[in-house]
Amino acid sequence: MTDHLPTDEVAPAVVRAVDVASSSQDGRAGPPADWNPRGPRVRRDAVAAYDEMRSRCPVARGPDGTWTLFSHADVVRTAMDPVSFSNAVSRHLQIPNGLDGTTHTAYRAVVDRYFTPERMADLEPAIHDVARRLVEGLDVPGPIDAVHLGARFAVQAQSTWLGWPAELEPHLLRWVHDNQAATRSREPSRTAEVAERFTAIVRSLTDARREAGEDGPADVTAELVRDRVDGRPLTDEEIVSILRNWTGGDLGSMALCAGVVLTYLADHHDLQARVRSGVSDHELDAVLDEILRIDDPFVANRRVTTRAVTLGGRQVLAGEQVVLNWTAANRDPQTFGDPDEFDPVTHASDNLVWGTGAHVCPGRPLATMELRALTRAVLDATTAIGPDLCRPRERALPPSGGFTVAPLLLR
């Protein structure tokens, strides 16, 4: 649902970039790779590997010629320079995150209308009801997988917001799982299949609302079908792209966020007790942002250079792909000191969990509200959240972050 998060369209664009980035302008082979972003070291412990790369080689060339930026300064510089670093990195239409300049501005204005403070305030009671009902169905005391809980909540919350029927839940949960697996596979045929499946779901809903006209439901999906950009109606392709960005990006991301946040609270009893004792929404949001900074599940976004640039003393040619590693940037000791130190107030201004620059996440108000609602519901229904020592946690494999399995015990 955001400019900031990876979607099912990542893998095809990476494949496309290989031909551009693996050679120099005179046709000769480029320099040797500095690292392998999907190699065994990264697969064993991605966060530690990113930390090591930031200290050893903060601008690193991968085996496909793609450059990865690990330092906070380089990531911010790139995100804040849309002239030198274009977002048009995918072969697919991506609204608004794959657009640049005035075109991005026009579509971003459309998207931003759905996340105003007034609209979020109106939606918040319904989202809290979704979280409360879901948590009431859990066995307390008993075990949970925080990632699976987050995925179920994300589907139900998004369906409530968009006006989608409850019977879609198993199909969307399956799609989240298949989409993550396809992205990891880097196989264009798999990513294309899951993208087509999502398009079919969306079009069945938008077609029904278009056919119903004024007799149809008055929900966000129907509103989007009637919306306009630059004075003209949105096309079907544009509507699908926006809904893919909102829903495709958010469902998996909310599951990852829930896994990271609930696991961190389970491991840090003093912080859990502090939140349980009563904090304002503003204070809780700061806590959530800082937890996600320390273990950022939103690993990276891509740009492509429009001209030759120098980053970290290294020459990057025009047309080469650059990856902004948010996870590494959010743990840069040059900005945050000890990256594992929990200090939400001091670190807030430099926190990049939701991105920065023109493409900062437009859906941050909704995503934060959802995560706050789920966290409060779990804490309200329990006296303690602890690690499940009988079941191992499983970290997500690149290019994802966070956990794929996060077992916890509710008491």
Write out pLDDT tens, residues 69-126.
999 999 999 999 999 999 999 888 899 999 999 999 999 999 999 999 999 999 999 9
Integer Cα distance of 154 and 161 in angstroms: 10
Q: Which stretches of the chain score pLDDT less than 50?
A: 1-2, 4-28
Can you give the pLDDT at residue 69?
98
Can you give the pLDDT at residue 331?
98
CA nearest neighbour of 288 among 263, 270, 308, 314: 263
Can you give the pLDDT at residue 20?
31
Q: Which CATH class is domain 10-410?
A: mainly alpha
Q: Can you name the residues that pair with 311 across neighbouring β-strands?
A: 314
The bridge status of strand 403-405 relative to strand 394-395 is antiparallel
Can you give the pLDDT at residue 186?
74
Please enumerate in sequence order all residues whose Cβ is within 8 A of that of 270, keeping only pairs 6 or more positions apart, or say none.
Answer: none
Task: Measure CA 351 to chain center.
Answer: 15
pTM listed for this prediction: 0.90
Can you give the pLDDT at residue 122?
97
Can you give the pLDDT at residue 175?
84
- What beta strand segments (E) does 146-271 contain? 228-229, 232-233
Domain boundaries along the sequence of the chain: 10-410
Where does residue 161 rank: exposed (0-12), middle (13-18), buried (19+ CB within 10 A)? buried
Can you give the pLDDT at residue 309?
98
Asked if residues 326 and 299 have their Cβ atoms less than 8 Å apart, the reply is: yes
pLDDT per residue as tens digits for the range 376-407: 999 999 999 999 999 999 999 888 899 999 99
Place of tokens 């077992």: 407
Q: What are the backbone dihedrals phi and psi of residue 322, each rounded to the nearest 5 degrees, phi first?
A: -125, 130
The bridge status of strand 67-69 relative to strand 321-325 is parallel
Can you give the pLDDT at residue 214?
84
Query: What Rg, from alpha-carbon coordinates, does the chain have?
Result: 21
Find the DSSP H helices in 268-396: 269-276, 281-294, 326-329, 333-336, 344-347, 364-380
Can you give the pLDDT at residue 90?
86
Can you give the pLDDT at residue 372?
98
Can you give the pLDDT at residue 18?
31
Q: What are the backbone dihedrals phi and psi of residue 133, each rounded to the nearest 5 degrees, phi first?
A: -65, -40
Helices 117-136 and 364-380, axial angle in degrees (round to 10): 30
Task: Measure CA 232 to chain center.
Answer: 30
- What beta strand segments (E) does 117-266 contain? 142-145, 228-229, 232-233
Integer Cα distance of 348 and 237 in angstroms: 37
